[in-house]
Structure 1
């Protein structure tokens, strides 16, 4: 890539970027959300934003670039089971079911039979990511563009993903790694290119460049641990299943009090997201009861009142898929205020712009469609949209994944303020254990759809044994 410039409506998204991805080597692109990493990575696939004016030169092997997007669901057909999709790709390369299973194993999916029978929305974010990696491996990619490939994964799965990417590179595949996770970059990268505002501000050998990279501000200070307020949310004897009768949750019991933060942790596929979706009315295939102020909530959000919908809001891990690609971001946040608060259009737009500013997104950016925002920017916009309903319970699914250090600090600080100022109760689904330690009063650890441990952050997290597993994981 030489002198790449991508401009939309007079605004440069990428300005004069040059880099080289070599066989069996890893080039990492790092920088804040919105710095141009994804635009640069997509250029290797010949993909550019609508209306883009492109100058410069990009040379790639024809048809040999694989892509693992930050939002993996966008690369999967929602109407087809995973097995059917992968078998089609394998047939194009002269292979069959055995090759599909081999690719799934290389992508660290331990139970291929279970995954092959599911639709993409029935997989966790980490599972979706590994299915997309399997797609690229099946297609015989010689160059792999991996956009935040360890986002939304537990510690052990992240270690295995790093090991798998290393193994792929050792086979002669060139890797362009786009990541905010500097620990992963340090472990994998041979060369690092730092972007700021679409321009290259540093480039060279990984050790030299990373030594000069500022890691950003420290994590937000822990929220003040207060005595429990009244109980807001309850989950009683909840058993949930996916279509086909596959069990996802078994006998889950939880409660959540005003101003409290409950952390939900566990490996990818352990049931964390399914539990959050049950609470929010997005997954209705369950037995048991979810209560708000002691009164049962309807299983499906379609049967909940406007007040109940506003009271329990969900921030999706896959922010891009949760937005309408044809409407401006601020318009969609305003629409939430109209539907959930009953605000008029003028008032709703004011609410939307205030909330978007609070998460660090200016009007000049949010007046555009979702595709114009980076993954981290969309995650913050999704949080603002959930807050437009003035919720009493906020379910946050991996909302710090894909954020740079400064944006992560902003979001954690905002969530801490919501608890203290407004008494919002938080359910924080996350693999970001540092963020959980900062915010959570209590932590519930899920494994195989069951709560296997619950208590204060220090007690629950130290008892789960991840540090030992992380040391033993192959690299």
Structure 2
């Protein structure tokens, strides 16, 4: 067992400035072997910047003062919030992991190296809670669900033999069962004497896993201490707000979803290559209704959403919008059909052009899909952004300068400028803190109350998020397993 009194990494008085604005200000952090230190706070509070400092990585153009120390041999592994960004899309999973494993078996005779490297890879995938590892090795990253991608990156960190693992939202987009497995895995990592720095919005996971918690706001640590003390006796107002904002509000039950469906699925069968990944015999969405689609990571719920949006064309069956057949592919949909069904992605950063101001990209939707002139489109964009809680000043920034919550509001505004009939939201709250998450859910509920012509498909693994829905459809192992009213399906 490692000595928990020693320090494997330490940050002293860290200050990170960009254009004279401090995004981290005076942070102290001690990382001990075999312990989980959690950083919690709203989007933009400085958690990720602090965690990346342990790897010696900072935002471009940042002015950094303070000190970061690593113990001798203190290799730091990193599991990012958006794993697709660090997985080479042109290489199979086996190649990505073999590159890390091969140097570790060079001392063996040449005839034994390949088998030994593969054994290391399979063990790391198993430790990362990835079943059917041999089949996954043949796939490319885009053929994995978000949860599977995240666990492949965790396997990379384990293969590296890191003494510290910085886990940035490792349970983002995961179903409850997979969250439990990730908690178990990270607990097993610490049992081997590896330190974990957990950056998380998921307070349930933090409570289950962390030893010490640092609560951050606006770049500063406003409260810290053992997890049990913080939960029972929070001292700072912001800590209390985070803990109080976990539950979503129930939907307006007067929205019964009567009349002709705005969207209908008939005999849908979707495939990846030759593998059937989803069967949905029948599913409807009515005007003014919120339908939550729930299921484990990799169950097929995102494939369903992508079929509806024309982003996954490899399917049979029929999709109907107001009783008229929708073409399978975006390329064959009319401008009106493109505007009618809008998709808001889980990874909003990947969905924005990093080189263009956010306002320009939001306004462009109205120009491209509705034929609005540019001046009117910018005015409508500013009004919509303001109504969603994003002021004009951050709207003029580049996407990389906005927090996750701010960028999620911008993504919603961009979709709304198309004046859609159907808004598909794919795990859009899974990477947000409880306060920001509650704000986004309240925004969605308010949109449904205020607009009779808007319907919502909410892809989620989270029961609390699904509580804003009128109905819930459950997808399990590629099959539409059932549906019903939310208050019935979500009853424990």
Query: 2: distance between equivalents of 1:309 and 1:436?
Result: 26
Q: Indicate if the aligned counterparts of 1:73 and 1:321 stay in contact, CA closer than 8 A.
A: no
- Say whether residues 1:360 and 2:371 are aligned partners: no
Q: Indicate if the aligned counterparts of 2:39 and 2:215 stay in contact, CA closer than 8 A.
A: yes
Helix, strand or coil: the match of 1:399?
Answer: coil
- Say whether residues 1:2 and 2:32 are aligned partners: no
2:266 to 236, 241, 253: 236
* TM-score (structure 2 length as normaliser): 0.90
2:221 to 190, 200, 207: 200
1:126 to 147, 151, 160: 147
Query: 1: distance between equivalents of 2:177 and 2:55?
Result: 30
Query: CA offsets per residue over residues 259-305 of structure 1, 9 Å max, x none?
Result: 11111111111100000000000000111111111111111111111
Query: 2: distance between equivalents of 1:183 and 1:251?
Result: 32
Query: 2: distance between equivalents of 1:327 and 1:93?
Result: 43
Matches within 5 A, 1:64-463: 64-94=75-105, 95-211=116-232, 212=234, 213-214=239-240, 215-217=243-245, 218-227=247-256, 228-243=258-273, 245-423=274-452, 424-437=454-467, 439-462=468-491
Query: CA offsets per residue over residues 22-46 of structure 1, 9 Å max, x none?
Result: 1111111011111111111111111
1:370/1:57 Cα in 2 relative to 1: closer, same or farther (>3 Å)? same
Q: Indicate if the aligned counterparts of 1:93 and 1:138 stay in contact, CA closer than 8 A.
A: no
Q: Indicate if the aligned counterparts of 1:234 and 1:291 stay in contact, CA closer than 8 A.
A: yes
1:21/1:115 Cα in 2 relative to 1: closer, same or farther (>3 Å)? same
Query: 1: distance between equivalents of 2:405 and 2:137?
Result: 30
State the shift of 1:394 in Å.
Answer: 0.8
State the shift of 1:363 in Å.
Answer: 2.8
Q: Indicate if the aligned counterparts of 2:41 and 2:217 stay in contact, CA closer than 8 A.
A: yes
Query: 2: distance between equivalents of 1:369 and 1:338?
Result: 20
Query: 2: distance between equivalents of 1:381 and 1:310?
Result: 17
Query: 1: distance between equivalents of 2:382 and 2:134?
Result: 46
1:56 to 61, 66, 71: 66
Runs of 4+ in 1 over 4 A off after TM superposition: none
Structure 2: state its 5+ residue gaps.
Answer: 1-10, 106-115
Name whichever of 331-340 and 42-51 sits farther off.
331-340
State the shift of 1:63 in Å.
Answer: 7.2
State the shift of 1:343 in Å.
Answer: 2.0
Query: 2: distance between equivalents of 1:73 and 1:17?
Result: 29
Query: 2: distance between equivalents of 1:406 and 1:229?
Result: 36
Structure 1: state its 5+ residue gaps.
Answer: 468-475
Query: 2: distance between equivalents of 1:432 and 1:357?
Result: 28
1:192/1:440 Cα in 2 relative to 1: closer, same or farther (>3 Å)? same
State the shift of 1:327 in Å.
Answer: 1.6
Query: 2: distance between equivalents of 1:238 and 1:75?
Result: 33
What is the root-mean-square deviation in Å for CA atoms of aligned residues? Answer: 1.7
Query: CA offsets per residue over residues 405-448 of structure 1, 9 Å max, x none?
Result: 222222112211222221211111101211212x2121111111
Q: Indicate if the aligned counterparts of 2:265 and 2:280 stay in contact, CA closer than 8 A.
A: no
Query: 2: distance between equivalents of 1:118 and 1:377?
Result: 34
Query: 2: distance between equivalents of 1:286 and 1:7?
Result: 49
Helix, strand or coil: the match of 1:274?
Answer: helix
Query: 1: distance between equivalents of 2:263 and 2:65?
Result: 54
State the shift of 1:162 in Å.
Answer: 0.3
In the alignment of these two chains, the number of paired residues is 461
Query: CA offsets per residue over residues 57-98 of structure 1, 9 Å max, x none?
Result: 112356711111111111211222222211222113335111
State the shift of 1:221 in Å.
Answer: 4.2
Query: CA offsets per residue over residues 107-145 of structure 1, 9 Å max, x none?
Result: 111121332222222221111111111111111111111
Q: Indicate if the aligned counterparts of 1:192 and 1:210 stay in contact, CA closer than 8 A.
A: no
Aligned equivalent of 1:28:
38
